[in-house]
A = this chain, B = another copy of it.
Amino acid sequence: MTELSEATQQVHALAAKAKESARTLRLATTASKNAMLHSIADELVANMDTILAANETDMTREREGGMSDSLLDRLQLTTERLEGIADAVREVATLPDPVGEIVGGRTLANGLRLINKRVPMGVIGMIYEARPNVTVDAAVLALKAGNAVLLRGGSAALESNKVLVETIRAGVVKAGYPADLVATVDDYGRDGSVALMKARGLVDLVIPRGGAGLIQTVIEQATVPTIETGVGNCHVYIDRDADLDSAHNIALNAKTHRPGVCNAAETLLVHRDVAAELLPRLGASLIAAGVTIHGDDATREFVEGAVVATDEDWETEYLSLDLAVKVVDSAEEAIAHILTYSTGHTEAIVSNNVSAVNLFTSTVDSAVVMVNASTRFTDGGQFGLGAEIGISTQKLHARGPMALQELTTTTWIVQGDGHVRN
């Protein structure tokens, strides 16, 4: 074995302890795990002053460092927000436990009895950015699904996350479980983060949740299996046979309801036959809502104040009040554009034409395809899956909103009566 850095050794030690602890949780009943979640919620409320003080340290440092108001708002914790976080923990306790579900099985011709059963994943690594509520969300979802969790948060929330992890661990211990089920690797910096991604054999899954840069780093460096999440260059296509009122409302909602999130629309594709009727009105509404329209030549004929779209616009996830708009000659051209530029998150078609809808839903290769609905609905809570840990844009294991079930795996239990193979 090559010599390991100090940070790597520390992270491996934490991961080994997490793996050992996870064995106790693997055998826990749902009732016992739920009691642990309530214990964590109680600790969050009891420890509120300490958490808020730590958060104030983060806020002061970042404010002085010039963090934007919108990012500061995401970083900030308040009494009300902490109560909301504790309520969300209690909410996870009410969700069905995926562990123990029998997902398949059969008796073979030779009498062997096969059972395919859902079991915890083991140890989950979570690497995420500024919002401190993710620390609590990720920990309790992992625990409910029977897993230990190693957390790596953003440096802006360092003090908040430190106290939050201590609080969660106190709740875990008070419920009779080992503290090592939850740990942070924040103390070990960038090296610790890389060590977490490479702790194969100790960590079973790493989930990055954050911007494109973070996700790219994890994909390139990780040897532990990962799930790519959340980069959404989402498209809305308005077909020739669209109801134009619906088209107007869906496009406006998909772009402006919450422009900074991954399920917001970034490109609008409009069929040429309805462009003259739809675009002047929709363009005006978008611009009135503060949107900058990056239009192709045809779009700019219909939308006053649109700026010129370049190739770069088609591939950009703005996460802001910007929208690329292109006029297309057919559903096929819209689909070809989407297949070229989409990140595989969510695409929507607005159409009342059965053929166009069938073509779109069967050809577009994304986690979610919306028909006559806003892209904003791609969300674990909206889908009725309970709390979500991220939205997978890869095809392996999980696709779209990921909830408790996606934090488990399965195992085959095969029962015989002295069976040997001939």
Task: State whether the Cβ of A382 lies closer than 8 Å to any Cβ in chain B.
Answer: yes
Contacting residues, chain B, for A320 (C-beta < 8 A)? none
Task: State whether the Cβ of A45 lies closer than 8 Å to any Cβ in chain B.
Answer: no
Task: State whether the Cβ of A225 lies closer than 8 Å to any Cβ in chain B.
Answer: yes
Whether the pair A366, B411 counts as a contact (CB closer than 8 A) is yes
Whether the pair B414, A112 counts as a contact (CB closer than 8 A) is no
Nearest 7 A/B pairs, CB to CB: A373-B416, A246-B418, A253-B420, A395-B409, A397-B397, A376-B421, A373-B419
Docked pose: A119 CA to B362 CA in angstroms: 9
Contacting residues, chain B, for A362 (C-beta < 8 A)? 26-27
Task: State whether the Cβ of A78 lies closer than 8 Å to any Cβ in chain B.
Answer: no
Task: State whether the Cβ of A415 lies closer than 8 Å to any Cβ in chain B.
Answer: yes
A409-B421 CB under 8 A given contacts A415-B372, A416-B370: no
Docked pose: A254 CA to B420 CA in angstroms: 8
- Chain A interface size, as a band, is 35 or more
Shortest CB-to-CB span from A107 to chain B, Å, is 10
List 28 A–B pairs whose Cβ atoms lie within 8 Å, in order of A's numbering. Answer: A23-B339, A27-B362, A108-B383, A114-B383, A122-B395, A205-B395, A227-B396, A245-B418, A246-B418, A249-B420, A250-B420, A253-B420, A367-B411, A368-B411, A369-B411, A369-B414, A370-B414, A372-B416, A373-B414, A373-B419, A377-B414, A377-B419, A378-B414, A382-B421, A383-B412, A396-B397, A399-B410, A400-B411
Set B122, B382, B413, B414: member contacting A365, Cβ < 8 A? B122
Task: State whether the Cβ of A371 lies closer than 8 Å to any Cβ in chain B.
Answer: yes
Contacting residues, chain B, for A377 (C-beta < 8 A)? 112, 414, 416, 419, 421
Nearest neighbor of A263 in chain B, beta-carbon distance: B421
Task: State whether the Cβ of A61 lies closer than 8 Å to any Cβ in chain B.
Answer: no
Specify how many copies of this chain sit in the oligomer: 2
Docked pose: A412 CA to B119 CA in angstroms: 24
Contacting residues, chain B, for A363 (C-beta < 8 A)? 23, 26-27
Whether the pair A396, B220 counts as a contact (CB closer than 8 A) is no
Task: State whether the Cβ of A417 lies closer than 8 Å to any Cβ in chain B.
Answer: yes
Whether the pair A413, B361 counts as a contact (CB closer than 8 A) is yes
Per DSSP, are chain A's interface residues mostly helix, strand or loop, or mixed?
mixed
Contacting residues, chain B, for A249 (C-beta < 8 A)? 418, 420
Whether the pair B257, A420 counts as a contact (CB closer than 8 A) is yes
Shortest CB-to-CB span from A18 to chain B, Å, is 14
Shortest CB-to-CB span from A250 to chain B, Å, is 6
Contacting residues, chain B, for A309 (C-beta < 8 A)? none
Interface residues of A in 209-256 (CB under 8 A from B): 219-220, 223, 225-228, 243, 245-246, 249-250, 252-254
Task: State whether the Cβ of A121 lies closer than 8 Å to any Cβ in chain B.
Answer: yes
Shortest CB-to-CB span from A20 to chain B, Å, is 9
Shortest CB-to-CB span from A262 to chain B, Å, is 14
Contacting residues, chain B, for A365 (C-beta < 8 A)? 26, 119, 122, 411
Nearest neighbor of A226 in chain B, beta-carbon distance: B225
Task: State whether the Cβ of A384 lies closer than 8 Å to any Cβ in chain B.
Answer: yes
Task: State whether the Cβ of A374 lies closer than 8 Å to any Cβ in chain B.
Answer: yes
Nearest neighbor of A365 in chain B, beta-carbon distance: B122
